[in-house]
Amino acid sequence: MADAKVIPFDDDRSRTGAGKVVPRRRGASGRRKGEPASVREVAPLPGQQDHEPSPPAAAREPDPRERPQAGGGLDRRIAGGLAFLRRRLTGDYDVDEFGYDKELTDQVLMSLVRPLYEKYFRVEVKGIENIPADGGALIVANHSGTLPLDGVMMQVAVHDNHPQNRHLRLLAADLVFMLPVVNELARKAGHTLACAEDAQRLLERGELVGVMPEGFKGIGKPFSERYKLQRFGRGGFVSTALKAGTPIVPCSIVGAEEIYPMIGNAKTLARLLGFPYFPITPTFPWLGPLGAVPLPTKWTIQFGEPIPTDGFPPEAAEDPMLMFNLTDQVREQIQHTLYKLLVQRRSVFF
């Protein structure tokens, strides 16, 4: 098979018409000897004196309707898409030891959830400057919403708003990696099992790691307890940050609590299905699949000031009192910010 010919998309000659001779216009003062006087500029008529003379054709901004449609941007997108498909088919792409596929996440997965982030939930992000420009950091957030959409929205918020477009690697529960399709998508998007070993390895590699210590207690709590933080476990995330010497960034998410108002829990059905809970909402299961559509609430995600951990000695990770104090400090900061954001918001949906 013959080698394909590469067409450079940045060749200016194909767009500016290089090589074409643009005729130069001469005024009356530039008339050559022997040239007829008819080429001199004619004084405008009395009714035309208020109008500015038309600029030369070479200097006049062309009408958009007259511009040639080169389609360079479209060509680039098509070429990029074909190159992406070729790499997918040939296996010429990189995946790290956790299964994270950066190219697939950037070009496909982020593009799929970004309309939900921008148009449906209309997420507003605050305090993005509190996330380090490089190096590891542990982002600790509240968890809510019956389904874990808040983690996905937080991942998009970090990637699309951070000046360095950093990726957030979320720590997920065992159940996520037991579901057939969700398991593969979670691995490809960079998420991994919520265990101290994986979290520490990621932090030491300079990654941003996200954790929601409330777990199922937070995401499955009834609607009557919305925005009331549940127990933060035993402070394992603090121990991991201390061992890696990375800062802890508290994160408060408002808006996720109302997407699926959980008014009941079918515990018997949950046990039969192997789920931690089976939600009953005003629309689910009464409306069937339609009841699984989240309500279009207005979200706010705020990243608080980082809490440094690099000033503690190595043995501090084994001090239960220190871990308890730092865990309580992070929890109180998130809870206080939640209350402040709730007071500031005008409406659940606007």
Ordered per-residue pLDDT tens for the chain, 350 residues: 444 443 343 444 334 444 433 444 444 444 444 444 443 444 444 444 444 444 444 444 444 444 444 446 788 888 888 888 888 888 888 899 999 999 999 999 999 999 999 999 999 999 999 999 999 999 999 999 999 999 999 999 999 999 999 999 999 999 999 999 999 999 999 999 999 999 999 999 999 999 999 999 999 999 999 999 998 977 889 999 999 999 999 999 999 999 999 999 999 999 999 999 999 999 999 999 999 999 999 999 999 999 999 889 888 988 999 999 999 999 999 999 999 999 999 999 99
Q: For residue 54, what are the β-bridge partners?
A: none
Q: What does pTM read for this prediction?
A: 0.77
196-204 and 236-244 helices cross at what angle (nearest 10)?
A: 30
Q: For residue 124, what are the β-bridge partners?
A: 300
The pLDDT of residue 21:
38
CA distances from 59 to 22, 29, 49, 63, 158 (A): 11, 20, 22, 12, 44
pLDDT tens digit sequence for 297-311: 999 999 999 999 988
Of 170, 159, 184, 203, nearest to 101 (Cα)?
184
The pLDDT of residue 35:
43
pLDDT tens digit sequence for 6-37: 334 344 433 444 443 344 444 444 444 444 44
The pLDDT of residue 72:
60
